[in-house]
Amino acid sequence: MNRYFPQGLPRLEPAGLDGWMVRLFDAIDEGNMPWLTALVRDCESAFGDGLVDLVPSYTTLLVVFDPLRLTPGEARQRLVELLQWLEPDEEAQDAPVQELPVWYDASVGPELSRLAELADMNLEEVVACHSERSYRVFALGFAPGFAFMGSVDSRIEAPRLESPRRRVPAGSVAVAGQQTAAYPAVTPGGWNLIGRTPTVLFDRDREGFSLLRVGDRVRFVPIDRAEFERLGGDPRPMEEGA
């Protein structure tokens, strides 16, 4: 369909009566993002008032259209035409890095020691390993504003907890497998908690609600407790048995 893609890609898969799933890639990779953001931009222009929603993810883009304005066949044809000429969004590749301040401490990040033990590092080395690289937002989901980011240094990869917590505080910064994230609200969760950010990640009064969007680049910046509290962070430690 497009000379830049291997045979069989992209693929258009029906997603109900009002949607098409565009599968651009079969493997997760940061290099996918400029293509996905380009297709989002092109769909917004091509579908206009006929567009209901766009949901980009690791390798796909879900396109939801208004069935009162477009038939499934018409929507598919618009996507076919867009994909024939799709080019990567170079600006997305060089997007500015958003910084999230993080207080890395065992009282709010009880799995810091677990990651250190698994990696044969001390706590300071784990913090440095997590904070010295930028991450790409691959997808939003699980909870409003929850951004799945990757990929972490292989030395601090860690499996999810065997038993998820019933209550993870808002702002908790965590690692699971090759990904990292910050919880935007109090929710259950089974990721390894290593710190907490005072930044508000989801706000209903903010345009777009979520601070982070798919394709964004993010860096976690270590701060001390005093700065964390000055920025409005909640320093209360994790509850026993939470």
Ordered domains of the chain (ranges, CATH): 11-93 (3.30.1360.40), 97-230 (2.40.100.10)
Q: CA–CA distance from 6 to each of 1, 13, 150 (Å)?
A: 9, 17, 24
- Percentages helix, strand, coil for the chain (3-state, rounded to 5) are 25, 30, 45
Res 113 pLDDT > 80: yes
What's the predicted TM-score (pTM) here? Answer: 0.86
Q: What is the mean pLDDT of residues 94-113?
A: 93
Q: What is the mean pLDDT of residues 32-45?
A: 94
Q: Can you list the pairs that 152-158 forms with residues at least 24 positions away whose Cβ atoms lie under 8 Å?
A: 152/178, 152/179, 152/180, 153/129, 154/178, 155/119, 155/121, 155/129, 156/115, 156/118, 156/119, 156/121, 156/126, 156/129, 156/130, 158/111, 158/114, 158/115, 158/118, 158/192
Res 241 pLDDT > 70: no
The pLDDT assigned to 90 comes to 81
Res 101 pLDDT > 80: yes
Residue 54: band (very low, low, confident or very high) from pLDDT cuts 50, 70, 90: very high
Stretch among 21-25, 110-114, 128-132, 207-211 having the lowest mean pLDDT = 207-211
Q: What is the mean pLDDT of residues 141-158?
A: 93
Q: What is the pLDDT of residues 213-230, one digit of tens each?
A: 988 999 999 999 999 999
The pLDDT assigned to 1 comes to 61
Q: What is the mean pLDDT of residues 43-58?
A: 95
The pLDDT assigned to 240 comes to 62
Share of the chain above pLDDT 90, in %: 81
**Taking every pair of C-alpha atoms in the chain, what is the biggest distance, in angstroms?**
59
Task: Output Rg (C-alpha) for the chain, integer angstroms.
Answer: 20
Whole-number average pLDDT of the chain: 93
Residue 242: band (very low, low, confident or very high) from pLDDT cuts 50, 70, 90: low
More confident position, 96 or 1: 96
The pLDDT assigned to 148 comes to 96
